[in-house]
A and B are shown apart, each in its own frame.
Chain A
Amino acid sequence: MNALTDTFRARWAAQRAHTAYLALADGAIFHGVAFGARKDTLGEAVFNTGMTGYQEILTDPSYAGQFVVLTTPEVGNTGCNPEDEESRALFLSGLIVREVNPPSNYRATESLENYLARHGRPGLAGVDTRAITLHLRDHGAQKAFLHVEDTPLPESEAVARARAWVGLDGQDYAARVSTPSPYTWNAEGRFRVTVYDFGVKRNILRCLAAQGCQVSVVPAQTPAAEVLAERPDGVFLSNGPADPSALPYAQENIRALLTVGIPLMGICLGHQLLGLTCGARCMRLPFGHHGCNHPVRNLLDGSVAITSQNHNYALSDLPETLELTHVNLNDGTVEGIRHRTLPAYSVQFHPEAAPGPHEAQALFRPFLFLMEHA
Chain B
Amino acid sequence: MPKRTDIHKILLIGSGPIVIGQGCEFDYSGTQACKALRAEGYEVALVNSNPATVMTDPATADRTYIEPMTPESLEAIIAREHPDALLPTLGGQTALNLSMELYRRGILGHYGVEMIGANAASIDRAEDRQKFKEAMLAIGLDVPRSGSAHTLAEARAIAKNIGSWPLIIRPGFTLGGTGGGIAQDAEAFDRIAQGGLDASPTSEILIEESLLGWKEFEMEVVCDRKGNAVIVCSIENLDPMGVHTGDSITVAPIQTLTDVEYQAMRDDSFAVMRAIGIATGGSNVQWAVDPKTGRRIIIEMNPRVSRSSALASKATGFPIAKIAALLAVGFTLDELRNDVTGTTPASFEPALDYVVVKAPRFAFEKFHGADDTLGTQMKSVGEAMSIGRTFKEALQKAFRSLETGRAGFGADGKDAPFESLSDEALAEALSRPTVNRLFFVRAAFRRGWSVDNVHALTAIDPYFLRHLQELALYEDEIATHERLEAFTADPECLRQAKAMGFSDRQIAHLLHTDELAVAAARRHLGVFPSYGLVDTCAGEFAAQTPYYYGTYGSPDTTCPQGHNRPPSILIIGGGPNRIGQGIEFDTCCCQAASALRALGYRVVMANSNPETVSTDPDTSDALYFEPLTLEDLVGVYEREQCIGAIVQFGGQTPLNLAQALKAAGVRILGTSPDDIDLAEDRDQFRTLADRIGILQPPSGIAHSVEDAIAIAERIGYPVLVRPSFVLGGRGMVIVRRREDLEELARQAVEIAEGKPILIDRFLENAVELDVDSVSDGQGNTVVGAILEHVEPAGVHSGDAACVTPPISLPPPILERIRAYAQAFASALHVQGLMNLQLAVREGEIYIIEVNPRGSRTVPFVSKAIGLSLAAVAARVMVGKSLAEAGLPHERHPPCFAAKESVFPFARFPGAAIALGPEMRSTGEVMGLAPTYGLAYLKSQIAAGTCLPRPDAKRNAIFLSLCDTDKEKGVEAAKKLATMGFPLYATRGTATALWAAGLRPNAVFRIGEGHPNALDLIREGAIGWVVNTAGTGADHAGDGLRIRAEALLHGLPITTVREGFLAAVEGLAEWHGGHPNTPRTLQELHGEP
Contact = CB atoms under 8 A, between A and B. Distances in A.
Interface of A: 1, 4-5, 8-9, 12, 15-17, 47, 49-53, 55-56, 71-74, 77-78, 81, 83-84, 98-99, 101-102, 104-107, 128-131, 133-134, 137, 291-295, 297, 302-304, 306, 329-330, 353-359
B255 A74 contact: yes
Contacts of A355: 259, 263
B227 interface: yes
A257 B291 CA distance: 49
Contacts of B492: 16-17
Contacts of A9: 477
Pairs A-B, 8 closest by C-beta atoms? A53-B259, A355-B259, A1-B448, A71-B538, A104-B463, A52-B259, A16-B492, A49-B351
Given A52-B259, A53-B258, A105-B256, A16 B496 contact: yes
B554 A128 contact: yes
Interface stretch (B166-174, B466-474, B580-588, B756-764): B466-474
B1078 interface: no
Interface stretch (B341-349, B366-374, B1060-1068): B341-349
A134 B541 contact: no
Interface stretch (B352-360, B564-572, B637-645, B699-707): B352-360
B476 interface: yes
Given A303-B226, A329-B344, 6 more contacts: A15-B496, A78-B258, A129-B353, A133-B539, A304-B332, A357-B349
B537 to A, nearest CB: 7
Interface string B329-343: 000111000000001
A8 B352 contact: no
B81 to A, nearest CB: 36
Contacts of A353: 263
A50 B391 contact: no
B532 interface: yes
8 contacts: A17-B492, A72-B253, A74-B255, A134-B539, A137-B542, A291-B351, A297-B334, A304-B332
A184 B954 CA distance: 78
Interface in B251-301: 253-263, 266-267, 270, 291-294
Contacts of A131: 554-555
Nearest to B540: A49
Which residue among B267, B389, B461, B555 has the maximum number of chain A CB atoms within 10 Å of its CB? B389
A294 B348 contact: yes
A214 B566 CA distance: 67
Interface of B: 226-228, 230, 234, 253-263, 266-267, 270, 291-294, 332-334, 343-345, 347-355, 389-391, 448, 450, 461-463, 466, 470, 473-474, 476-477, 492-493, 495-496, 532, 537-542, 553-555
B257 to A, nearest CB: 7
Nearest to B480: A9
Contacts of A12: 474, 477, 496
Contacts of A106: 291-294
Which residue among A50, A81, A291 has the maximum number of chain B CB atoms within 10 Å of its CB? A291
Contacts of B257: 52, 78, 105
Nearest to B462: A104
Given A104-B256, A128-B553, A306-B348, A16 B493 contact: yes
B260 A133 contact: no
Contacts, number: 176
Given A295-B345, A355-B259, A73 B496 contact: no
Contacts of B348: 293-295, 306, 329-330
Contacts of A98: 389-390
Contacts of A53: 258-259
B256 A78 contact: yes
B292 to A, nearest CB: 6
A47 B555 CA distance: 18
B473 A5 contact: yes
A130 to B, nearest CB: 5
Given A49-B353, A128-B555, A355-B263, A329 B347 contact: yes
B532 to A, nearest CB: 6
A68 to B, nearest CB: 13
A52 to B, nearest CB: 4
A330 B352 contact: no
A50 B352 CA distance: 9
Contacts of A50: 259, 351
Nearest to B351: A49
A84 B259 CA distance: 9
Question: Interface SS of chain B: helix, strand, loop or mixed?
Answer: loop
A266 B353 CA distance: 32
Contact of B351 (A1, A51, A101): A51
B266 A357 contact: yes
A55 B260 CA distance: 10
Which residue among B256, B267, B555 has the maximum number of chain A CB atoms within 10 Å of its CB? B256
A293 B349 contact: yes
Contact of A329 (B253, B255, B334, B474): B334
B292 A130 contact: no
A293 B345 CA distance: 11
B627 to A, nearest CB: 19
Nearest to B491: A16
A329 B537 CA distance: 14
B507 to A, nearest CB: 15
Nearest to B290: A106
A83 B226 contact: no
B474 A104 contact: no
A73 B392 CA distance: 11
A57 B542 CA distance: 25
A298 to B, nearest CB: 11
B259 A72 contact: no
Given A101-B463, A102-B466, A295 B258 contact: no
A73 B263 contact: no
A303 B263 contact: no
Nearest to A135: B539
A131 B474 CA distance: 26
A177 to B, nearest CB: 21
A358 B266 CA distance: 9
A77 B463 contact: yes
B538 A49 contact: yes
Contacts of B263: 52, 353, 355-358
Contacts of A329: 334, 344-345, 347-348
A72 B228 contact: no
A353 B258 CA distance: 13
B260 A84 contact: yes
B235 to A, nearest CB: 12
Which residue among A15, A74, A98, A353 has the maximum number of chain B CB atoms within 10 Å of its CB? A74
A50 to B, nearest CB: 7
Contact of A74 (B267, B351, B355): B355
Contacts of A55: 258-259
B354 A73 contact: yes
Given A71-B538, A354-B259, A293 B267 contact: no
B398 to A, nearest CB: 15
A304 B334 CA distance: 7
B470 A306 contact: no
Contacts of B347: 295, 304, 306, 329
Contacts of B496: 12, 15-16
Contacts of B226: 302-303
B983 to A, nearest CB: 64
Contacts of B353: 49, 71-73, 129-130, 133
A77 B476 CA distance: 25
A9 to B, nearest CB: 7
A52 B354 contact: no
A204 B496 CA distance: 43
B350 A56 contact: no
Contacts of A356: 259, 263
A353 B350 CA distance: 17
A75 to B, nearest CB: 10
Which residue among A12, A51, A53, A329 has the maximum number of chain B CB atoms within 10 Å of its CB? A51
Given A49-B537, A73-B353, A73-B354, A5 B259 contact: no
